[in-house]
Amino acid sequence: MQYLIISDIHANLEALDATVSAAPPCDHVLVLGDLVGYGADPNAVVDRIRALPSVTIIRGNHDKVAAGLEGATGFNHLARHAVEWTRSTLTVSNRDWIARLPAGPIAIDSVAEICHGTPFDEDVYLFDDMEARRAFRVMNRPVCLFGHTHVPTVFRCNDKLEAIGPPRGARFNVPVDAGSQYLVNCGAVGQPRDGDPRAAFGVLDTRTRMLTVIRVPYDVATAQSKIIAAGLPEVLAQRLGMGR
């Protein structure tokens, strides 16, 4: 199987369309949460994802709040402003559909499982060795794909825990060795935060046991202008150009 891995779209239609156009033919799509929040096209993004012919989707923290499942008390003022706007902008159909999205982790096959934050808590940010060690202890598959941080990251665990990379450049290959476990964040489609403004996504080929993190440019200016036209905080548009 060849999987397309996308996460943290955050209502950025231009980035999503560029990602889907640049991706190689895949058998199935894995969406790791946060379809909405921050960006100006929540309905169009949800419609695109709902129309995918073969897809597994889990929710993110912005999805939960936008759907009314949780309050925004844990969000900073920018995220709160954006998610409240998103909640009021979503159609009833799309809001109800988001509310029904399952929480991770979900096992995909004998190789991979997916989660939003970590396999032990969907809302925890996995940045360092401490969270990675906790995640490796509860993983049920050789590869756990996660999102939430918006930063491409690869951890491998065999006899020891090590960070691989970090993933940089247009393509970064991660061979999935037998006998090792991997925690992989392929980065954010709609709001990268590693200093590279290009959309980030991944492709996992379970036949060749190769995972590739891929970057693709998109029409940042249009995404920015839509955010400003919607009356969302201008800083949300600015950060797209910086990849922060």
Q: How far apart are CA 12 and CA 199, in angstroms?
A: 10
SS3 at position 161: strand
Cα dihedral: 88, 92, 96, 97 (round 10): -100
Return the pLDDT at 169.
93
Question: Over 90: is that where the pLDDT of 242 sits?
Answer: yes
Question: Over 90: is that where the pLDDT of 103 sits?
Answer: yes
Report residue 162 as tokens: 């090590």
- Give residue-wise pLDDT tens across range 81-99: 999 999 999 999 999 999 9
**Averaged pLDDT score across all residues of the chain:** 97
- Tracing tokens 């891995």 back to the chain, one arrives at 5
- For residues 39 and 45, the answer to whether their CB atoms sit within 8 Å is yes
Q: What is the mean pLDDT of residues 5-21?
A: 98
- Give residue-wise pLDDT tens across range 195-220: 999 999 999 999 999 999 999 999 99
Return the pLDDT at 205.
97
**Domains within the chain, CATH numbers bracketed:** 2-242 (3.60.21.10)
Q: What is the mean pLDDT of residues 49-57?
A: 97
